[in-house]
Amino acid sequence: MTGRSMKFDPEAWLRDDVEAEWALTRDRQQAAALPGGTARETKRGIAASEQSGIDAIINAGFVSERLPMLDVVFDRLVRLMTASLRSLTSDTIEVSIEAVSSVRFGAFLNDMPLPSLIGVAHAHEWDNSALLVVRPELAFAVVDVLLGGRRGVPPAHIGRPGFTAIETKLVERLIGVVLSALGEAFAPLAQVGFTLDRIETNPRFAGIARPTSAAVNARFRIEMDERGGLVDLVIPHATLEPIRALLLQRFTGETLGRDSLWERHLVSELHRASVDVEAVLGEQQMTLADIMAFKPGQTLLFGTREDQPITLRCGGRTVGHGQMGRSGHQLAVRLTDRDTDKPGKAFRLRGED
């Protein structure tokens, strides 16, 4: 026995205990995956069964931030994409939103189906990037449509490992149209232009953000006469940071997404709407007993002189005053005061003299 005293170190004891616990958990996961022999590996080469450790801890603190105005932008994007893709394909196009969610950027790349065409877009005004992922079903459907494929026949290229240069160029046209529509969708909030920087087929080369960074994933379904598929728009929160305050606002019907054609139609219909205008010669308060005692031939005195202006009312609100007169065989009122109209305009009353 040595004469040196043993000093207890609580930090070292806790560190050794945590390392032992992690090692035991890892051994159990590996042992559970061995009998089946089908342990799945992600695109980063990490076994899926081993991601429940540190990834679970990281994702436990992941709280998605609600951006109300972003939903309005995506709804506007659907309308713009429908019109733009109809011009591109000369075919019937239906675009709908499948889902809008917050994801980890690395988790999205891991779950991406292959082969997919990944368009890396650059937002010049925000000096950042976004991803537009065209899934294989949609990519081959677009190629068939642009090359004049028969309608109603699904594409038969899904089993191929990748895309040719011609197919990539054709899908690039689709990506360009969607990015142009995306810039127009953001226009009511901020002026931004998205341009295609490059197209990747390997998710490892599409890393525009850290794997743990939060991002918004908007998934759209594009149907072209019984052919189509999904396209994913991935925008990191760092890209949206310049307009984050605007996206946090709640949409209450202001100018965002206004439809000028509908506004003009509504204004024209309102101007043609018929309303009743009353010319009030006089008013007097009476008791209910006096009103119930009315008899034919009874004279009611209102205390109004002949030259006293009368009141014009519409919908219970006073809209002006005027003088009673005659125009032909009809009673008329000449407007004497009205802030929004020129004095001297005559309003004819219903009925004849």
pLDDT at residue 114 in the model: 83
Say yes or no to pLDDT of 47 above 70: no
Output the pLDDT for position 251.
60
55 has a pLDDT exceeding 90: no
**Which has the higher per-residue pLDDT, 313 or 24?**
313
Alpha-carbon distance of 298 to 280, in angstroms, equals 20
- Residue 121: name the closest of 73, 212, 182, 169 by CA: 182
Amino acid 121: pLDDT = 93
- What is the CA angle 268-272-277, rounded to 5? 135
pLDDT at 3 over 60: no
Question: What pLDDT was estimated at residue 160?
Answer: 60
Block residue for tokens 């081993």 = 50
Query: Which two three-digit tokens encode residue 170?
Result: 């054709």
Residue 262: phi and psi, rounded to 5, are: -65, -35
Question: Which secondary-structure segment (H or E) carries 55?
Answer: helix 54-60
Give the model confidence (pLDDT) of 102-139 as tens digits. Answer: 889 988 998 888 888 999 999 989 999 999 999 988 88
Would the pTM count as exceeding 0.85? Answer: no
Lowest mean pLDDT segment, chosen from 50-64, 81-95, 207-221: 50-64
What does the pLDDT look like over 258-317, one tens digit per residue? Answer: 667 888 888 888 888 888 888 888 888 889 998 898 889 888 887 777 778 888 888 888
Every domain of the chain with CATH number 3.40.1550.10 lies at: 68-263
- Paired with 330 in beta bridges are 327
| CA dist list (Å): 23 to 48, 106, 287 | 17, 24, 94
CA angle 168, 127, 111 (to 5 degrees): 50
SS3 at position 233: strand
Structure-token match 């809008």, residue found: 100
Averaged pLDDT for residues 163-168: 88
> How confident is the model at residue 239, as a pLDDT?
92
Report percent pLDDT > 70 for the chain: 71
Please state, rounded to an integer, the average pLDDT across all residues of the chain.
Answer: 77
Q: Is 148 left (phi over 0), alpha (psi -120 to 50) or beta?
A: left
30-44, 127-141, 207-221: the lowest-pLDDT one: 30-44
Q: Which fold has domain 68-263?
A: Chemotaxis protein chec (3.40.1550)
**Residue 239: Cβ within 10 Å count:** 23
